[in-house]
Amino acid sequence: MKIYCVWEHNGDDSILYADNFAGAFSRGASKEEAIRKMPEEIRRFRLWLREAPFDDYEIEIVQEKESDLQIRDADSDVLFATEKEPLSAEEYQYLKSLALKSAEDFYSLYSSFPDKHKSALPFRKTFYGSVPRTAEEIYQHTKNVNEYYFSEIGVEADNEGSIVSCRAKGFEALESVPGYLSLETVTGSYDEQWSVRKVLRRFIWHDRIHAKAMYRMGVRTFGADVIPDIYGFAR
């Protein structure tokens, strides 16, 4: 199976995104490390989709973005070349279903924590502030990009309700926009370029980053027998 990857980096720090598996990614202190990690990421991504992993993988880097962002902290502003293309109705429905499944699974993982305010992780700060430590902090951070992501493509949304309900309402608002499947790429906050395809991918990617962090924190804090491996991170 060929994995078409977009490489975003700041010096040696790298994130690889799988262009043909929306939301799948790997990080490394170098491009080579991120490449080595990608096949395992795709295997686990397929497990999350309840699909059989492939026997082998070939990685092809199809786009490069040199960034001045803090890549090591998973900050990103890349727009894939393919994300400038209009969506078919079938593509949109598929990617939307993944974004909603992702929200539902994230909420299920969060709901499994016996104490949402307890964490064995130490406090840590980055350039952007304190890193979310508890299930509640991680959940609120992940949910509350809803208004931001939709607003970047001119769609009115909010962060009210659960991660599932506010995301679903955002998609309803998007679908009320005439010609939403072929909206042009726009420049949003911080001069970052956005499109409908990018919003769909970013939801899945952002959930996945923080689901990994929440799951690992949960296992460390409560044990693997308490926290369900919904995403296949340990398999």
pTM for this predicted structure: 0.95
Query: Are 96 and 171 within 8 A, CB to CB?
Result: yes
End-to-end CA distance of the chain: 20
Angle formed by the axes of helices 135-143 and 196-222, nearest 10°? 180
Q: What is the pLDDT of residues 204-220, one digit of tens each?
A: 999 999 999 999 999 99
Residues 183 and 153: beta-carbon distance below 8 Å: yes
**Rounded CA separation 9/69 (Å):** 8
Q: How confident is the model at residue 154 (pLDDT cuts 50, 70, 90)?
A: very high
Structural domains of the chain sorted by starting position, each given as residue range(s) with its CATH number in brackets: 2-78 (3.30.2390), 82-222 (1.20.120)
Task: State how far the alpha carbon of 136 is from the alpha carbons of 34, 103, 111, 230, in Å.
Answer: 29, 15, 10, 18
User: Residue 126 — very low, low, confident or very high, per pLDDT cuts 50/70/90?
Assistant: low
Note the pLDDT tens digit of each residue in 161-204.
999 999 999 999 999 999 999 999 999 999 999 999 999 999 99
Task: Write down the pLDDT at residue 73.
Answer: 80
